[in-house]
Amino acid sequence: MSLLKLAHQHIQNSLHSGDVAIDGTVGNGHDTLFLAEQIGENGRVYGFDIQQAAIVATTEKLQHSHCLERVTLIQVSHAEMAAYIPAHHQGNINACVFNLGYLPKGDKGIITQTRSTLSALNAACQLLAPRGIITILAYPGHAGGDDETARVQQWSEQLDTQHFSVAIFFSAIPSPSAPRLLVVQKR
């Protein structure tokens, strides 16, 4: 099973119709659409990306699948997400997804940055509902990816184990540059 499918499986176990979710890195919209399908017509997804191309691609994907009305797309850094989540949803987010690195088929020079990613992860922990989940797909092996992946893993190891559980899944490819999935669940 791919790490992306494994992430989706964990989310499916935690996310239900009417829930609220965040896609911290909308990219080409695959995770955003997945979340929108899970939360149904009565839920809400907030999606963040700094690139206009990502917002456009995601908007088109959501329109094509008739899910756009369930999603609020915001073109800002994921580090600023807390400022854009309405007060009534803060502390009530059931799932938050991060797919780090660069926009597939986009400018590989524009990547998620360690500092903003760590800020976003801290914000996501504050926004989560009890039993809410954060999935983080990290990609070492590209410029900036090794440091970001290492720092995200360090961040996860420092979470208070009374409030969060963490599981790390590695790619079937035995390589330090292979992707990995971190799953954080609020107790």
pLDDT in single tens digits along all 187 residues of the chain: 899 999 999 999 999 999 999 999 999 999 999 999 999 999 999 999 999 999 999 999 999 999 999 999 999 999 999 999 999 999 999 999 999 999 888 888 899 999 999 999 999 999 999 999 999 999 998 889 999 999 999 999 999 999 999 999 999 888 889 999 999 999 9
What b/e string do you get for 98-110 counting C-beta neighbours within 10 Å, with b at 16 or more?
A: bbbbbbeeeeeee
* pTM of the predicted protein model: 0.97
* Cβ-based burial of 122 (10 A; exposed 0-12, middle 13-18, buried ≥19): middle
CATH number of the domain to which 51 belongs: 3.40.50.150
**Among residues 168, 164, 186, 184, which one has the least CA distance to residue 3?**
168
What local confidence, expressed as pLDDT, does residue 55 receive?
98
Q: Which two tokens stand for residue 151?
A: 């720092």
What local confidence, expressed as pLDDT, does residue 112 receive?
96
What local confidence, expressed as pLDDT, does residue 105 receive?
82
What local confidence, expressed as pLDDT, does residue 108 receive?
85
Pairing of strands 128-138, 20-23: unpaired
Q: Which residues pair with 96 in a beta bridge?
A: 22, 134
Range of the domain at 160: 3-186
Element (H, E) at 25: none
What local confidence, expressed as pLDDT, does residue 56 receive?
97
Domains contained in the chain, number: 1
Q: Could you report how far apart the first and last alpha carbons of the chain are, in Å?
A: 26
